[in-house]
Amino acid sequence: MNTTAFKNADILIPKIEDMYKWSVIACDQYTSEPEYWDEVYKTVGDFPSTLNLILPEIYLEKDDVSERTEKIHASMDKYISDGIFEEYKNAMVYVERVQSNGIVRKGIVGAIDLEKYDFSKGSNSEVRATEATVIERIPPRIKVRQGASLELPHIMILIDDPEDTVIGQLDSCEMKKLYDFELMQNGGSIKGYLVDEQKQEKIDSALCELADPEKFNKKYGLENSPVLLYAMGDGNHSLATAKAFYEQLKKENPEKDFSNHSARYALAEIVNLHSDALKFEAIHRLVYDVECNKLISEMTETLGLSETANSDQYVIISCEDTEKKFYINNKTSNLSVGSLQNFLDSYIKKKGGKIDYIHGSETVKNLAGKYNGIAFILPDMDKSQLFPTVIKDGALPRKTFSMGHADDKRFYIEARKITE
């Protein structure tokens, strides 16, 4: 019997030849680069694709978002009625993703129990957010989930498994291959294998070992601390949306038994934090529709910016072909990103402007030039600090880190029915 929040699920895999066109990148990527998504639409054409089952967040605030959502729901229903899926009952999928840099990232796709997840800061749940959740971002996403017959995961959840006892025990040679294909737009390639019942039991046993309270507390030098087994890597707001929607359903239907309801779970992939494929990179800030000089001047005064290295926090500011490194002397957070984010939130609230979160220092600088804005380039975070920081201090500032380049984010492949 499974005793952690991760379990098997009834997983759908498409029975189509052109998986290249089926699989597209996570909806929260390339939010300031419409040309990326234009190319995806051009590539997919009229072929069956997960592109028709998701709402890329670049379109989330467009006037036609309601029409797009209706089309998504209609496409889900059509794909089900057309019988393009093969359903694997009580399944897990072992994934080997060859990233754009050639390194293999391994993971297991299954279901996360939302009863064991709390995204609020300071949560003691077994599944926790690693960064602050922006509540305002959830309602628009709930509208996509409402009326949807399918869910598709781009959620990646981390386990702190230095000995690689969970995923490392799996051997693809012993499993049935479900898919093997190249990913579009420099996404690398991916293989998926069906995990049989015996191997699922071994996975569960290894996860339960990691979740042993005595061993957990000893590992982090704690006493009687609630176990954190699953920490969010990517897709924080997607999992938060699933949780909020589930809680909404329970509130609206108090007489209903939700103990085994499909909405209680969300598909996700677990990945070992210690995988060589996982590189934590800073997520940079692009600010535009502001007067650059005024913002930098106020920021200099508020955060005590200086070009002298007398602080362990810093940010590189690129604006109008000028790039300088500034140290933050008036810290408002334990991390550079937190001090910067606190200032930007306050400034934009008072004086207006827009902010976007960008992967890659060269990309954010190029976009700053394109939008006549400011690029704020931040230092990378040491991934070994993730679990201890979340355990002791709660969630990090939002958009603190990214696991690798945008090209290497999770692509949609598997699906699950979420209607009763």
Over residues 103-159, the pLDDT tens digits come to 999 999 999 999 999 998 889 999 999 987 877 878 888 999 998 999 999 999 999
| pLDDT for 1 | 47
- pLDDT tens-digit map of 308-342: 998 999 999 999 889 999 999 999 887 899 899 99
Percent of the chain past pLDDT 70, that is, above it, reads: 100
| pLDDT for 396 | 83
Q: Three-state secondary structure along the chain? A: CCCCCEECEEEEEECCCCHHHHCCECCCCCCCCHHHHHHHHHHHCCCCCHHHHCCCHHHCCCCCHHHHHHHHHHHHHHHHHCCCEEEEEEEEEEEEEECCCCCEEEEEEEEEEHHHEECCCCCCCCEECCECCCHHHHHHHHHHHCCCCEECCCCEEEECCCCCCCCCCCCHHHCEEEEEEECCCCCCEEEEEEECHHHHHHHHHHHHHHCCHHHHHHHCCCCCCCCCCEEEEECHHHHHHHHHHHHHHHHHCCCCCCCCCHHHEEEEEEEECCCCCCCEEEEEEEEECCCHHHHHHHHHHHHCCECCCCCCCEEEEEECCEEEEEECCCCCCCCHHHHHHHHHHHHHHHHCCEEEEEECHHHHHHHHHHCCCEEEECCCCCHHHHHHHHHHHCCECCCCEEECCHHHCCECCCEEECCC
Q: What average pLDDT score do residues 370-385 get?
A: 91
The more confident residue out of 334 and 11 is: 11
* Confidence class for position 61, pLDDT limits 50, 70, 90: confident
User: Chain-wide mean pLDDT for the chain?
Assistant: 93
| pLDDT for 2 | 54
